[in-house]
């Protein structure tokens, strides 16, 4: 090694073999200040630069230049420090073609992630083994896996990891406050979704949950906290002890993760149905229906209203029908009846829009709202100050539409069904009174204006002889201006101010 050169050590995430090492090597040598370099298949990169170069500037240029495509450059000390921990996980449903997209998304969303390396070589396998290196000072294993779950990835500890069996703990927790089996289902589903949970058994009669979890990724305090967030009281009744999971349990866990991921794949063509649901007694019943229906293939989303005893379900008609959805709800122990069906995910809202005074106001709102992505049509009635908007609920929501109208200078609010039915007559009466007063106001000043115009026309046929206040300003002009202004200002020029 030349003693007159400076040495920079980097770690290139994404280098896993001789081929990828050669690609990075060629890219390093394209930099002018580089004298010699060596890239190892492990990702370690040793670079010699000229002695007269600024090391800091060269390092920054190397980091930027070597972060491309699937490769990500970092200082070797950052990748090898004692606070950098390593974990191997199994990502369910991630194909090899999406590796670059997934790694970029993880880097952007997770602060503290040092390295993300995919270990699979099988192109046909949709389950990918991933080696993750993360800064343990910034996040824990549980936080790392939780963030991945929040991004929509089903991440499980790889059963091929050498120390996979260590850290498995079984604990018994007494739970108070459950009212029915829906509460049981709600608790079980919530705990199962926590990264690190392997199994949970709970019955309504005994009110004791037996939870098996990986203590390296999940703590007992986090389990108890999640139960209490649901509105139940939790107390540990036995000491926790370690156990070795059987291969069948591990396989079952991974199969469950694959099935959950597959159910999350949704179709673009969706329809909406409304179902009357009877027999719900608490929020756990609501949560039980929403969670169980959300796991069914073809169901896009579920929204259940406890007080209204009603469910709104968006579904793919290629997979199931509203009658089948009602049957699923009945299978959970509730009475269900189909109320109505909407087509192809198109929802309709009615809004009350204040501040409109003329047709230009209507055109301004319609032109702007139609330009929004997801809005199919908008119809506005100036007389009643009502607007009906049809939109794609998967692309835009009612709150966004109302906010856009309000930002134009026209305060808008959603109309409830009760308001539509009970207050329509009052609103029409209000608008009729408003325009009636406008007519009387115009008549009150319009008739004198006509009289003054005729008087000056016939009495002073020669305009040069019309009495003048000063040159160019006649009494006729002043009188006509005084009579016309009260009519013009409120009902004409105010529209220009709004535009």
Q: How high is the pLDDT of residue 423?
A: 56
Q: How high is the pLDDT of residue 256?
A: 47
Average pLDDT over residues 351-368: 88
- End-to-end distance of the chain based on CA atoms, in angstroms? 74
**Roughly what angle, to the nearest 10 degrees, separates helices 283-294 and 322-331?**
130
The string of pLDDT tens digits covering residues 58-69 is: 777 887 888 887
The string of pLDDT tens digits covering residues 140-167 is: 777 777 777 777 776 666 555 545 455 6
Indicate whether 123 pLDDT > 70.
Answer: no
Average pLDDT over residues 270-291: 84
Lateral strand order in the sheet of 386-392: 375-381, 386-392, 346-353, 412-414
Can you tell me the distance from the alpha carbon of 361 to that of 494, in angstroms, rounded to the nearest whole number? 11
Q: How high is the pLDDT of residue 365?
A: 92
Can you tell me the distance from the alpha carbon of 409 to that of 437, in angstroms, rounded to the nearest whole number? 25
Average pLDDT taken over every residue of the chain: 76
One DSSP character per residue, 129-184 reads EEEEEEETTT--HHHHHHHHHHTT-EEEE-TTSTTTTTTEEEEEEEEE---SHHHH
Q: How high is the pLDDT of residue 369?
A: 92
Average pLDDT over residues 481-499: 63
The model's pTM is 0.35
The string of pLDDT tens digits covering residues 219-231 is: 888 888 888 888 8
- Of the listed ranges 189-198, 318-327, 469-478, 486-495, the one predicted with least confidence: 486-495
pLDDT band at 255 (very low <50, low <70, confident <90, very high): low
The string of pLDDT tens digits covering residues 75-103 is: 776 655 667 777 777 777 777 777 777 77
pLDDT band at 261 (very low <50, low <70, confident <90, very high): very low
Indicate whether 243 pLDDT > 70.
Answer: no
Indicate whether 464 pLDDT > 80.
Answer: no
Q: How high is the pLDDT of residue 145?
A: 76
Indicate whether 422 pLDDT > 60.
Answer: no
pLDDT band at 268 (very low <50, low <70, confident <90, very high): very low
Indicate whether 54 pLDDT > 60.
Answer: yes
- Of the listed ranges 22-31, 34-43, 236-245, 325-334, the one predicted with least confidence: 236-245
Average pLDDT over residues 344-352: 74
Indicate whether 240 pLDDT > 70.
Answer: no
Per-residue buried b or exposed e for 318-339, using 16+ beta carbons within 10 Å of the residue's own CB: eebebeebbebbeebebebeee
Q: What percent of the chain has pLDDT over 70?
A: 80
């Amino acid at each position: 090694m030349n003693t007159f050169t400076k040495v920079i050590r980097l770690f290139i995430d994404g280098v896993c073999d001789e081929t990828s090492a050669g690609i990075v090597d060629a890219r390093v040598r394209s930099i002018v200040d580089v004298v010699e370099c060596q890239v190892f298949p492990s990702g370690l990169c040793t670079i010699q630069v000229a002695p007269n170069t600024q090391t800091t500037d060269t390092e920054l240029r190397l980091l930027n230049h070597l972060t491309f495509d699937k490769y990500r450059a970092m200082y070797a000390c950052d990748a090898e420090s004692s606070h950098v921990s390593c974990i191997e996980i199994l990502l369910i449903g991630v194909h090899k073609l999406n590796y670059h997209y997934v790694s970029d998304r993880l880097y952007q969303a997770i602060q503290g992630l040092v390295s993300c390396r995919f270990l699979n070589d099988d192109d046909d396998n949709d389950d990918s083994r991933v080696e993750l290196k993360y800064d343990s000072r910034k996040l824990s294993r549980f936080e790392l896996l939780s963030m991945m779950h929040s991004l929509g990835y089903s991440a499980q500890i790889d059963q091929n990891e050498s120390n996979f069996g260590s850290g498995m703990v079984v604990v018994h927790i007494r739970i108070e406050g459950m009212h029915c089996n829906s509460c049981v289902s709600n608790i079980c589903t919530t705990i199962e979704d926590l990264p690190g949970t392997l199994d949970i058994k709970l019955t309504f009669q005994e009110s004791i949950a037996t939870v098996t979890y990986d203590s390296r990724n999940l703590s007992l305090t986090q389990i108890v906290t999640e139960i209490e967030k649901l509105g139940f009281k939790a107390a540990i009744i036995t000491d926790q002890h370690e156990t070795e999971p059987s291969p069948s349990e591990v396989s079952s866990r991974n199969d469950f993760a694959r099935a959950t991921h597959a159910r999350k794949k949704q179709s673009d063509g969706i329809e909406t149905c409304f179902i009357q649901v009877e027999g719900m007694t608490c929020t756990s019943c609501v949560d039980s229906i929403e969670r169980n229906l959300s796991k069914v293939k073809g169901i896009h989303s579920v929204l259940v209203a406890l007080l209204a005893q009603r469910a709104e379900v968006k579904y793919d008609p290629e997979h199931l029908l509203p009658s089948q959805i009602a049957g699923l709800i009945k299978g959970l122990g509730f009475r269900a009846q189909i109320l109505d069906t909407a087509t192809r995910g198109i929802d309709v809202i009615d809004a009350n829009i204040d501040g409109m005074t003329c047709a230009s106001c209507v055109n301004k709102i319609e032109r702007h709202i139609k330009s929004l992505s997801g809005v199919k049509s908008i119809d506005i009635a100036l007389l009643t100050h009502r607007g009906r908007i049809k939109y794609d609920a998967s692309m835009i929501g009612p709150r966004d539409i109302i906010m856009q109208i309000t930002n134009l200078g026209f305060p808008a609010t959603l109309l409830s069904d009760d308001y539509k039915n009970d207050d329509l007559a009052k609103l029409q009466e209000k608008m009729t009174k408003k325009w009636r007063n406008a007519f009387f106001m115009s008549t009150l000043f319009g008739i004198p204006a006509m009289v003054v115009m005729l008087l000056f026309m016939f009495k002073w046929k020669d305009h040069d002889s019309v009495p003048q206040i000063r040159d160019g300003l006649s009494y006729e002009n002043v009188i006509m201006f005084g009579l016309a202004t009260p009519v013009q200002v409120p009902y004409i020029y105010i529209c220009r101010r709004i535009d």
